[in-house]
Amino acid sequence: MSFNIIQTTVLKDQCIGCGTCDAVCPVDVLKMDFNSIGMYEPVESEGCLDKCTLCMDACPFVEENKDEKELAKNIYENEDNILFHKDLGYFVNTYEVHKKDTAERLKSASGGAGHSILKNLLEQQFVDTVLTVESNNDPDKLFKFSYFKEMKELEKIRGSVYYPTEMSEVLDYVIKNDGKYAITTLPCFAKAIRLAQEKNSKLRKRIKFVIGLVCGQMKTKEFIHTLAKNAIGTDRLKTVNFRVKQENRSAINFAFEFKSIDEEKVNRLSNADMPSKLWGSRAFTPNACNSCTDVFAHCADIVLMDAWLPEYTKDYKGHTLVVARTNEIVNILENSLDIELKKIDYKKVFLSQKPVVDNKNAIFYGSKNIFIHNINKHKLQIQKLSNENYELNKPVINILFNKIRQIQKIHSFVILPKRVVLKVFRILKGSR
């Protein structure tokens, strides 16, 4: 067996399952498949070339490769009017966006900026193909990356997806078919694309736009299967809608909607219940996420996120915050007729995701705060136990849930005086 991505990444439990290694392999000895915890990883067959390093060169979790900030610097540093923030990365402008048409907005994730940017890229012929995730109607593989060339096809790809997908087939399609492409990705996937573009001229030439999505952590497919069992008693699903907006509720309190494969069982779970509990505890989070601090997709030309700020979350219809890293993207956004667009302070954009940034940094670097340190210690235990066997380890996991809640209550009590003082200070400052 040659030394390749299997040794550097898979056997170290650092694979995120992006599939880029599979796409760039010149002899097709790698094939993406689900592993035991419900994440994609490459499986090797015979024929690997001894001196070939392409799979490793494209991996976002090979330590020797450039990190996302170095890659972003090479791409965006010389952009006109470029600014830089250590967490947001490079940017030209930051915005709040939502669809003008309420019905269109309600069908979209957040405020609908993602659907709008893809629609405008196709309409104005900046690209002729969009690469993104769609429902697959397969209970063993609920979602997949596909390519779309027609406007009407974009109606199938609205909304968020909290389910593992991989890019090998669509990146292979780009390599074999000339054209102009846009792709929507998570931060680590965007990094993999940029690394691959440094070695593969076809990917470099043909992928014109990388559209990033803010990410705090990925989830294995067992996350949605566990939620489905709780909601409808089966994980044999035909479809999942991860973001059902609920009228007169906070934007944070969206619902997950499940439809069984026989379509006889349909039900919803509020995000305030089990989904939020499992998400916040790091249950069903792949180990590779512990090695990543990139929340804002530094390697993407535009980054989209939920507007988790008080002035926006009270509106259930949804708002999207946007980081635009190039002037070309700025021009496309500012000339889009289907959206309401407002420039906002980049500090607000960062603030909307600050808890995510703080959490990723605390997992990666550790925390000197004894409360946060202990909370994260229990979260990492939950992560490990849930990926080994959630049902078998559920009693222990529930004990860990309770310990986390107890620590959080004590922490809230300890910092209460500081919070009161800060609130009084803000009130006094505002009354001047």
Distance CA 296, CA 300 (A): 9
Residues 6 or more apart from 19 whose CB is under 8 A from it?
A: 32, 40, 42, 166, 167, 168, 169, 171
Cα–Cα distances in angstroms (integers) from residue 109 to residues 43, 73, 242, in the given order: 34, 30, 9
Instruction: Establish if 14 belongs to a structural domain.
Output: no
Instruction: Establish if 327 belongs to a structural domain.
Output: yes
Burial class (CB in 10 A: 0-12, 13-18, 19+), 398: exposed
Pair (90, 206) in one structural domain: yes
Pair (26, 134) in one structural domain: yes
Q: What is the pLDDT of residue 419?
A: 63
Instruction: Establish if 271 belongs to a structural domain.
Output: no
Pair (56, 125) in one structural domain: yes
State the helix-helix crossing angle for 68-76 and 187-199, rounded to 10 degrees.
Answer: 60
Give the chain's domain count: 2
Q: What is the pLDDT of residue 96?
A: 98
DSSP 10: I
Q: Kindly report the three-state secondary structure assignment for every residue of 341-400.
A: EEECCHHHHHHHCHHHHHHHHHHHHCCCCHHHHHHHHHHHHHHHHHHHHHHHHHHHHHHH
Largest CA distance in the chain: 73
Pair (331, 202) in one structural domain: yes
pLDDT truncated to tens, each residue of the chain (432 aa)?
578 999 999 999 999 999 999 999 999 999 999 999 999 999 999 999 999 999 999 999 999 999 999 999 999 999 999 999 999 999 999 999 999 999 999 999 899 999 999 999 999 999 999 999 999 989 999 999 999 999 888 887 888 899 999 999 999 999 999 999 999 999 999 999 999 999 999 999 999 999 999 999 999 999 999 999 989 999 999 999 999 999 989 999 999 999 999 888 788 888 878 899 999 999 999 999 999 999 999 999 999 999 999 999 999 999 999 999 999 999 999 999 999 999 999 999 999 999 999 999 999 999 999 999 999 999 999 999 999 999 999 999 999 999 999 999 998 888 766 665 556 556 655 655
Pair (177, 69) in one structural domain: yes
> What is the domain range of residue 388?
366-432
Instruction: Establish if 264 belongs to a structural domain.
Output: no
| Domain end among 322, 356, 390 | 356
Pair (325, 419) in one structural domain: no
Q: What is the pLDDT of residue 154?
A: 86
Pair (343, 406) in one structural domain: no
Instruction: Establish if 149 belongs to a structural domain.
Output: yes
| Domain end among 337, 356, 375 | 356
Pair (119, 200) in one structural domain: yes
Instruction: Kindly report, residue by residue over 42-62, the tens digit of the pLDDT.
Output: 999 999 999 999 999 999 999
Pair (351, 370) in one structural domain: no
| Domain end among 356, 386, 404 | 356
Give the residue ranges of DSSP H helices in 159-220. Answer: 168-176, 187-199, 201-206
Distance CA 304, CA 133 (A): 15
Instruction: Establish if 273 belongs to a structural domain.
Output: no
Distance CA 350, CA 85 (A): 9
Instruction: Kindly report, residue by residue over 70-80, the tens digit of the pLDDT.
Output: 999 999 999 99
Q: What is the pLDDT of residue 263?
A: 80
The gap from C-alpha 14 to its chain's centroid, in whole angstroms, comes to: 17
Q: Which residues pair with 182 in a beta bridge?
A: 130, 209
Pair (321, 388) in one structural domain: no
Q: What is the pLDDT of residue 432?
A: 52
Pair (315, 392) in one structural domain: no
Instruction: Establish if 13 belongs to a structural domain.
Output: no
Pair (424, 312) in one structural domain: no
Instruction: Establish if 352 belongs to a structural domain.
Output: yes
